[in-house]
Amino acid sequence: MDYIHLTSPCGRDCFNCPFYLALNNPRLKQFVAKRMGLDPEIVECEGCRNIEGKCKLLMGFNIGEECKIYRCSKEMGITFCYECEEFPCRLLHPLADKAEKLPHNIKVYNLCRIKKIGIEKWAKEEAKQSFERYFKGKLESCVAE
């Protein structure tokens, strides 16, 4: 698997994303669409780099057509945001808006791990658990006893 190509510039692991996985899984597509209250045609994505940041999901939430982070990475000529002198910048700032549905707040963490251990190791050993912890982890799991 081409982990570089299937990881967005912001560090989102497209290869674990339900919208990417829904491309070849009609049941998952219907489940995710119903759960998020979206049209099933929006709930499918070929991966950020394959669609050049023109995310149907962002359009479905009326956020806009093109991802600003993707556009910025192209303008800067970088593969991942951590390669930029401005990292981390305001575009990567965590937000509460739609955080319960969209895993945008794990971007900086993922990018730091990719930079530290490399894309292959991160993708194979950490990406899935990072995504799952975002949705299923508890704050108390971070507190020392």
| Each residue's pLDDT tens digit, 89-98 | 999 888 777 6
In a domain, 7, yes or no: no
In a domain, 115, yes or no: yes
In a domain, 6, yes or no: no
Residue type, 14: C
In a domain, 112, yes or no: yes
Q: Give the range with max mean pLDDT: 21-30, 40-49, 131-140.
A: 21-30
> CA separation (Å) from 41 to 55, 101, 114, 123, 137?
12, 17, 31, 27, 29
75 burial (CB, 10 Å; 0-12 / 13-18 / 19+) is exposed
The rounded Cα 142 to chain-centroid distance in angstroms is 22
Of the candidates 95, 88, 32, the one whose C-alpha atom is nearest the C-alpha of residue 63 is 95
In a domain, 8, yes or no: no
Per cent of the chain over pLDDT 90 is: 50
Structural domains counted in the chain: 1
pTM score, whole prediction: 0.81
In a domain, 9, yes or no: no
Angle between helices 107-117 and 127-136 (to 10 degrees): 160
Residue 21 belongs to what domain range? 14-142
Q: Say how many C-beta atoms besides its own lie within 10 A of residue 130's C-beta.
A: 18
In a domain, 40, yes or no: yes
In a domain, 31, yes or no: yes
| Each residue's pLDDT tens digit, 62-120 | 555 678 899 999 999 999 999 999 999 999 888 777 667 667 788 999 999 999 999 99
